[in-house]
Amino acid sequence: MDAPAPDTQVLVVDFAALPPLPPARDAYCALGTTIKQAGSQAAFRAVDFDAVLAFAHAAQAAGVERFGVVSALGANPQSGTFYSRVKGEMETALMTLGFPTLVIARPSLLAGDRATLGQAPRLAERLSLAALLPVAGLIPPAWRPVEAAVVARALRRAIAGGASGITVLNSADLQRLGH
Protein backbone atom coordinates (compact mmCIF):
# COMPACT_ATOMS: atom_id res chain seq x y z
CA MET A 1 0.00 0.00 0.00
CA ASP A 2 1.18 3.53 -0.68
CA ALA A 3 2.62 5.45 2.24
CA PRO A 4 0.36 8.17 3.59
CA ALA A 5 0.86 11.62 2.09
CA PRO A 6 3.29 13.77 4.11
CA ASP A 7 0.43 15.91 5.45
CA THR A 8 -1.66 12.88 6.50
CA GLN A 9 -2.34 12.32 10.16
CA VAL A 10 -3.33 8.80 11.22
CA LEU A 11 -5.27 8.52 14.47
CA VAL A 12 -6.12 5.34 16.37
CA VAL A 13 -9.30 5.91 18.37
CA ASP A 14 -12.12 4.26 20.29
CA PHE A 15 -15.25 4.92 18.24
CA ALA A 16 -17.44 4.55 21.32
CA ALA A 17 -15.67 7.61 22.74
CA LEU A 18 -14.44 9.44 19.65
CA PRO A 19 -12.38 12.49 20.61
CA PRO A 20 -12.56 15.73 18.64
CA LEU A 21 -10.57 15.44 15.44
CA PRO A 22 -7.92 17.97 14.44
CA PRO A 23 -8.95 20.50 11.79
CA ALA A 24 -8.77 19.02 8.30
CA ARG A 25 -10.06 19.57 4.80
CA ASP A 26 -10.23 15.90 3.74
CA ALA A 27 -11.10 12.70 5.58
CA TYR A 28 -11.15 9.09 4.45
CA CYS A 29 -13.01 6.22 6.05
CA ALA A 30 -12.32 2.56 5.33
CA LEU A 31 -13.98 1.06 8.39
CA GLY A 32 -15.53 -2.31 7.87
CA THR A 33 -15.83 -5.81 9.23
CA THR A 34 -17.72 -9.00 8.54
CA ILE A 35 -20.66 -10.42 10.45
CA LYS A 36 -18.54 -13.46 11.30
CA GLN A 37 -15.68 -11.35 12.59
CA ALA A 38 -18.02 -8.98 14.47
CA GLY A 39 -19.94 -11.87 16.02
CA SER A 40 -23.48 -10.66 15.31
CA GLN A 41 -25.50 -8.46 13.01
CA ALA A 42 -25.74 -5.83 15.74
CA ALA A 43 -21.96 -5.77 16.21
CA PHE A 44 -21.48 -5.60 12.43
CA ARG A 45 -23.85 -2.62 12.23
CA ALA A 46 -21.99 -0.93 15.10
CA VAL A 47 -18.87 -0.85 12.93
CA ASP A 48 -20.15 -0.52 9.37
CA PHE A 49 -22.86 2.03 10.15
CA ASP A 50 -22.51 3.56 13.61
CA ALA A 51 -18.72 3.97 13.68
CA VAL A 52 -18.63 5.28 10.10
CA LEU A 53 -21.30 7.87 10.92
CA ALA A 54 -19.58 8.81 14.20
CA PHE A 55 -16.37 9.43 12.27
CA ALA A 56 -18.22 11.43 9.60
CA HIS A 57 -19.86 13.64 12.23
CA ALA A 58 -16.51 14.18 13.95
CA ALA A 59 -14.92 14.99 10.58
CA GLN A 60 -17.63 17.55 9.87
CA ALA A 61 -17.06 19.15 13.26
CA ALA A 62 -13.35 19.36 12.37
CA GLY A 63 -14.17 21.32 9.21
CA VAL A 64 -13.81 18.49 6.68
CA GLU A 65 -15.26 19.47 3.32
CA ARG A 66 -14.24 16.41 1.29
CA PHE A 67 -15.13 12.99 2.68
CA GLY A 68 -14.24 9.67 1.07
CA VAL A 69 -15.65 6.34 2.23
CA VAL A 70 -15.20 2.72 1.23
CA SER A 71 -18.54 0.96 0.95
CA ALA A 72 -19.25 -2.22 -1.05
CA LEU A 73 -20.45 -3.48 -4.40
CA GLY A 74 -24.22 -3.94 -4.19
CA ALA A 75 -24.77 -1.42 -1.38
CA ASN A 76 -28.49 -0.66 -1.32
CA PRO A 77 -30.68 0.41 1.61
CA GLN A 78 -33.51 -1.70 0.14
CA SER A 79 -31.42 -4.88 -0.21
CA GLY A 80 -32.71 -8.14 1.17
CA THR A 81 -29.13 -8.97 2.17
CA PHE A 82 -28.23 -7.56 5.58
CA TYR A 83 -24.63 -6.68 4.61
CA SER A 84 -25.64 -4.78 1.46
CA ARG A 85 -28.55 -3.09 3.25
CA VAL A 86 -26.34 -1.76 6.07
CA LYS A 87 -23.79 -0.48 3.54
CA GLY A 88 -26.60 1.22 1.60
CA GLU A 89 -28.06 2.75 4.75
CA MET A 90 -24.61 4.06 5.66
CA GLU A 91 -24.25 5.67 2.24
CA THR A 92 -27.72 7.24 2.48
CA ALA A 93 -26.96 8.62 5.94
CA LEU A 94 -23.67 10.12 4.73
CA MET A 95 -25.46 11.77 1.80
CA THR A 96 -27.70 13.67 4.24
CA LEU A 97 -24.77 15.21 6.11
CA GLY A 98 -24.10 17.81 3.45
CA PHE A 99 -20.39 17.37 2.80
CA PRO A 100 -19.57 19.63 -0.16
CA THR A 101 -17.75 16.63 -1.67
CA LEU A 102 -18.63 13.03 -0.86
CA VAL A 103 -16.91 10.19 -2.71
CA ILE A 104 -18.24 6.68 -2.16
CA ALA A 105 -16.08 3.77 -3.32
CA ARG A 106 -17.96 0.54 -4.05
CA PRO A 107 -15.25 -2.06 -4.66
CA SER A 108 -15.98 -5.63 -5.59
CA LEU A 109 -14.01 -8.33 -3.78
CA LEU A 110 -11.02 -6.70 -2.11
CA ALA A 111 -7.64 -8.27 -2.74
CA GLY A 112 -4.55 -7.59 -0.70
CA ASP A 113 -2.67 -8.71 2.37
CA ARG A 114 -4.99 -8.38 5.36
CA ALA A 115 -2.29 -9.62 7.73
CA THR A 116 -0.44 -6.31 7.35
CA LEU A 117 -3.62 -4.65 8.64
CA GLY A 118 -3.77 -6.94 11.66
CA GLN A 119 -6.85 -8.71 10.31
CA ALA A 120 -7.55 -12.41 10.54
CA PRO A 121 -7.45 -14.37 7.28
CA ARG A 122 -10.83 -14.86 5.63
CA LEU A 123 -11.01 -18.36 4.19
CA ALA A 124 -13.92 -17.75 1.80
CA GLU A 125 -12.26 -14.59 0.53
CA ARG A 126 -8.92 -16.33 0.01
CA LEU A 127 -10.58 -19.18 -1.89
CA SER A 128 -12.58 -16.76 -4.04
CA LEU A 129 -9.49 -14.75 -4.89
CA ALA A 130 -7.51 -17.90 -5.68
CA ALA A 131 -10.22 -18.91 -8.16
CA LEU A 132 -10.83 -15.44 -9.64
CA LEU A 133 -7.40 -13.82 -9.93
CA PRO A 134 -6.07 -16.17 -12.65
CA VAL A 135 -9.08 -15.28 -14.85
CA ALA A 136 -9.46 -11.66 -13.70
CA GLY A 137 -8.91 -10.36 -17.23
CA LEU A 138 -12.03 -12.20 -18.35
CA ILE A 139 -14.20 -10.68 -15.61
CA PRO A 140 -15.88 -7.34 -16.38
CA PRO A 141 -14.02 -4.54 -14.54
CA ALA A 142 -17.10 -3.68 -12.46
CA TRP A 143 -16.97 -7.17 -10.90
CA ARG A 144 -13.23 -7.88 -11.01
CA PRO A 145 -11.38 -8.22 -7.66
CA VAL A 146 -9.55 -5.03 -6.80
CA GLU A 147 -6.48 -4.46 -4.64
CA ALA A 148 -7.10 -2.42 -1.50
CA ALA A 149 -4.17 -0.16 -2.47
CA VAL A 150 -5.86 0.56 -5.82
CA VAL A 151 -9.06 1.53 -3.99
CA ALA A 152 -7.11 3.85 -1.68
CA ARG A 153 -5.31 5.56 -4.58
CA ALA A 154 -8.54 5.96 -6.55
CA LEU A 155 -10.38 7.45 -3.58
CA ARG A 156 -7.53 9.86 -2.90
CA ARG A 157 -7.36 10.89 -6.56
CA ALA A 158 -11.12 11.37 -6.79
CA ILE A 159 -11.09 13.59 -3.69
CA ALA A 160 -8.06 15.53 -4.96
CA GLY A 161 -9.88 16.07 -8.27
CA GLY A 162 -12.01 18.57 -6.42
CA ALA A 163 -15.41 17.76 -7.93
CA SER A 164 -18.28 18.93 -5.73
CA GLY A 165 -21.31 16.84 -4.89
CA ILE A 166 -21.69 13.10 -4.50
CA THR A 167 -19.61 10.72 -6.60
CA VAL A 168 -20.07 6.95 -6.51
CA LEU A 169 -17.15 4.94 -7.89
CA ASN A 170 -17.81 1.33 -8.85
CA SER A 171 -15.00 -1.20 -9.12
CA ALA A 172 -14.35 -0.35 -12.78
CA ASP A 173 -13.94 3.33 -11.85
CA LEU A 174 -11.66 2.37 -8.98
CA GLN A 175 -9.49 0.21 -11.25
CA ARG A 176 -9.21 3.05 -13.80
CA LEU A 177 -8.44 5.80 -11.25
CA GLY A 178 -6.25 3.72 -8.97
CA HIS A 179 -3.75 2.33 -11.44
For residue 171, being part of any structural domain is answered with yes
C-alpha dihedral, 93 to 97 to 101 to 103, nearest 10°:
-10
Measured CA distances, 120 to 5, 33, 38 (Å) = 27, 11, 12
Q: Would you place residue 115 in the very low, low, confident or very high pLDDT band (cuts 50, 70, 90)?
A: low
Highest mean pLDDT among 73-77, 105-109, 122-126: 73-77
Q: What is the average pLDDT across 44-59?
A: 96
For residue 85, being part of any structural domain is answered with yes
Domain membership of residue 169 as a residue range: 25-178
83 or 179: whose pLDDT is higher?
83
For residue 68, being part of any structural domain is answered with yes
For residue 11, being part of any structural domain is answered with no
Measured CA distances, 95 to 31, 75, 106, 171 (Å) = 17, 14, 15, 20
Q: What is the pLDDT of residues 131-144, one digit of tens each?
A: 555 555 656 666 57
Do the Cβ atoms of 91 and 129 come closer than 8 Å? no
For residue 36, being part of any structural domain is answered with yes
Domain count, the chain: 1
Instruction: Report pTM.
Output: 0.84
For residue 112, being part of any structural domain is answered with yes
For residue 18, being part of any structural domain is answered with no
For residue 92, being part of any structural domain is answered with yes
**Mean pLDDT score across all residues of the chain:** 85
- Which CATH number characterizes residue 158's domain? 3.40.50.720
Q: What is the average pLDDT across 100-109?
A: 94
